[in-house]
A and B are shown apart, each in its own frame.
Chain A
Amino acid sequence: MEKQYLIEVKNLKKYFGGGGFLNKKPVVKAVDDVSFSIAKGETFGLIGESGCGKSTVARTMIRLYNPTSGSVIFEGTDIARLGEIELIPYRRRIQMIFQDPYASLDPRMTVKRIVSEPLTAHKICPVSEYEERVAESLRMVGLEPAHMGKYPHEFSGGQRQRISIARAIITRPDFIICDEPISALDVSIQAQVVNMLQSLQEQMKLTYCFIAHDLAMVKYISKRMAVMYVGQLVEVSPSEELYRAPLHPYTIGLMGAIPIADPKIAQMKDEVSIKGEIPSPSNPPSGCRFRTRCPEVRDVCKEIIPKLKEITPNHFVACHLF
């Protein structure tokens, strides 16, 4: 039974550095052979810590960076191969929401100009209709259209993030990549934004790729999740199962490290946390990248990079233990 995939990422690699004829920089393998698929209408979660490459994956998918190799297949077309001009119609259908609500809106533009900018790029409607479209978009994210003449600095973090979302949905896209959209927001506002993203998904039949480091939030919003570590995927599985029965030692350690808002449970927790530092992507360990911190490390881990293998239905792990 072939599932209808909206977007398939295959063997994506993105390396930085190297070239430049006068200054050779060290090669940073930010994304090193990553593959996953997202079905239409699904929310796919991507988690990992700093340096894991999740933001790079996001930006490469949307062609802000050009991939070093690999493909990004959107509804049958490999958009990684397209030229800038051919890419433009796809830019209308794939949008992105960024992390920092204070930096993702041009401080010199009014809200109206910011939200209507995608309309100008794609000539979706005549200029006279802009105001109406912007008002509609703002209402959909819970903001008053009367505010469209204001500047970003007059709004709070949560409101600015909603303006970003209004900008993203104005072209009626199919797929939205959310790159840590709530990390910079307060706890009580995070829930508001997540709720809104979900109701928009129902209304507009959107597909999301949700990237974050807050595991609880990602699990809540996504049906399926992937865990990344220093440029590679270590585990992919339905969210439910990932929490209930994580297989990869890194995932297990990650789950254990989340502070739990319950004193009794918190005090009963194992004192074992993952020791050591996260390796830098410019100098990753050979073989399995987690081997320097893994409590179950073996000799083979140093030699061979483990590949993703399906252990239980739909649950993939990249580890020599399996």
Chain B
Amino acid sequence: MNVQPLLEVNNLRTSFFTFSGEVQAVRNVSFDLVDGEIIGVVGESGSGKSVMCLSVIRLLHESGQIVDGQILFDGKNVLEMSKKELRRLRNNQIGMVFQEPMTSLNPTIRVGTQIVERIRAFNKQISNVQAREKAEKLLEMVKIPDAKLHLEKYPFELSGGMRQRVMFAIAIACDPRLLILDEPTTALDVTIQSQILKLIRNLQDDTDASIILITHNLGVVAETCKRVIVIYGGMIMEEGLIEEIFYKTAHQYTIGLKKSIPDVNKVGGDRLFSIPGSPPSLLDPPKGCPFYPRCDKAMKVCVEYCPPYFQLSPTHRSMCWLLDPEMPGQPNQRGQ
């Protein structure tokens, strides 16, 4: 059954116009998201993963511009929305959680007041008392103990994990259809991260929202997401279901990422595998495949032309010349 996707991004191009030139942060990205999915966006710093998601709600720095492409949320074109419609989109339909909870919360206002502010932003009719009750319920939903007590606290009185939970509470306050989580656990300790990941899984069960989880940690993705997008150099390198990405890996970058993680179970002191080189400069991106300078299977065609996407299954695609059926010699590399 063909369900209309909640979010459709087609050929998105976003650039930042700086003194040094045009930084092409997102170069031709397309993906879909249906209701109720958790999709992971994996990439390193500078890959464009955050910019891609900020473009969806048009929350870019003033030097940034969506140069090309189409973004459809629930069928409506986001790029053509008026300021009022955009505000309604951000208030009512989409919730965001960022990496640093301390800078996302106002340090001079009590936590409860900030949540109430959010609730009343999208629901003008609700009374203050009702809003406070809802705020308390939200804190309970994110498993903050003694919710009523915590409403009165200031952000600096809470630990990092608690603050992040408050951010989640604010994000789900409007019962959004889409949650964008931009590296929500990167700044947290391992044990707290594990709690938050559990929270994310529970929230998904409870609220039916779709979730975009941006991270650089493959382990986080493996624990929480059903589908994964791997981004590098402003473009999607590989997209697929979680099992396909981990067990039938089709792109050299993803393979390299997996190999770079030291295996806790392995004994012995071999050198860690590392992908040589550094991410490409987005001021002057290579015209071919963005990954070729670091790829040990690069070919001359990779320098000349950027590869198209090859479908390995209805849900799994990858941008790599090695998958081209025209390529002579060995069968396609998979899953190593």
Contact = CB atoms under 8 A, between A and B. Distances in A.
Q: Do chains A and B touch in the complex (CB under 8 A)?
A: yes
Interface of A: 49-50, 156-159, 186-192, 194-195, 198, 213, 215-217, 219-220, 240, 243, 253-254, 256-264, 266-267, 269, 271, 273-275, 277-278
A191 B223 contact: no
Nearest to B258: A261
Nearest to A256: B194
30 contacts: A49-B190, A49-B192, A156-B279, A158-B278, A186-B216, A187-B44, A187-B217, A188-B257, A188-B260, A192-B274, A192-B275, A192-B276, A213-B190, A215-B264, A216-B261, A216-B262, A243-B264, A254-B191, A257-B191, A258-B219, A259-B197, A259-B223, A261-B222, A261-B258, A263-B242, A271-B198, A273-B191, A273-B194, A273-B195, A277-B161
Contacts of A260: 219, 222-223
Nearest to A293: B191
Determine the main DSSP class of B at the interface with A.
Answer: helix
A212 to B, nearest CB: 11
A254 B276 CA distance: 31
A198 to B, nearest CB: 7
Contacts of A158: 278
B94 interface: no
Interface string B151-165: 000000001111000
Nearest to B198: A273
Contacts of A254: 190-191
B193 interface: yes
A213 B189 contact: yes
B160 A195 contact: no
A169 B195 CA distance: 40
A264 B260 CA distance: 19
B264 A261 contact: no
Contact of A259 (B220, B242, B265, B279): B220
A278 B264 contact: no
A49 B216 CA distance: 19
A217 B195 CA distance: 22
A258 B190 contact: yes
A187 B219 contact: no
Contacts of B197: 259
A254 B189 CA distance: 10
Contacts of A188: 44, 256-257, 260, 274-275
B296 to A, nearest CB: 13
Determine the main DSSP class of A at the interface with B.
Answer: helix
Nearest to A267: B223
Contacts, number: 123
Given A189-B278, A191-B274, A219 B260 contact: no
Contacts of A186: 44-45, 216, 279
B45 A263 contact: no
B234 to A, nearest CB: 15
B272 interface: yes
Contact of A258 (B192, B242, B264, B276): B264
B53 to A, nearest CB: 18
A240 B189 CA distance: 22
Interface residues on B, range: 35 or more
Interface string B55-70: 0000000000000000
B23 to A, nearest CB: 14
B265 to A, nearest CB: 8
Given A259-B223, A261-B221, A273-B191, 17 more contacts: A49-B191, A50-B189, A156-B278, A159-B278, A187-B257, A188-B44, A191-B275, A192-B276, A243-B264, A257-B190, A257-B193, A259-B217, A259-B222, A260-B219, A261-B258, A271-B198, A273-B195
A267 B243 CA distance: 12
Interface string B206-223: 000000000011111111
Contact of A278 (B159, B222, B246): B159
A190 B218 CA distance: 14
A278 B192 contact: yes
A269 to B, nearest CB: 8
Contact of B262 (A220, A273, A277): A220
B83 interface: no
Top 3 A-B pairs, shortest CB-CB distance:
A259-B219, A191-B274, A49-B189
B271 interface: yes
A178 B228 CA distance: 34
A253 B191 contact: yes
A198 B223 contact: no
B1 interface: no
A249 B159 CA distance: 22
A259 B194 contact: yes
Contacts of A195: 271-272, 274
A191 B267 contact: no
B273 interface: yes
A274 to B, nearest CB: 5
Contacts of B193: 257, 259
A201 B274 CA distance: 18
A189 B242 CA distance: 24
Given A215-B190, A258-B190, A190 B260 contact: yes
Given A156-B278, A278-B189, A216 B264 contact: yes
Given A191-B272, A258-B190, A263 B246 contact: yes
A206 to B, nearest CB: 16
B272 A261 contact: no
A257 B273 contact: no
- Most chain A CB within 10 A, of B159, B189, B191, B197, is at B191
Nearest to B228: A263
A215 B258 CA distance: 16
Contacts of A219: 262, 264
Contacts of A256: 194
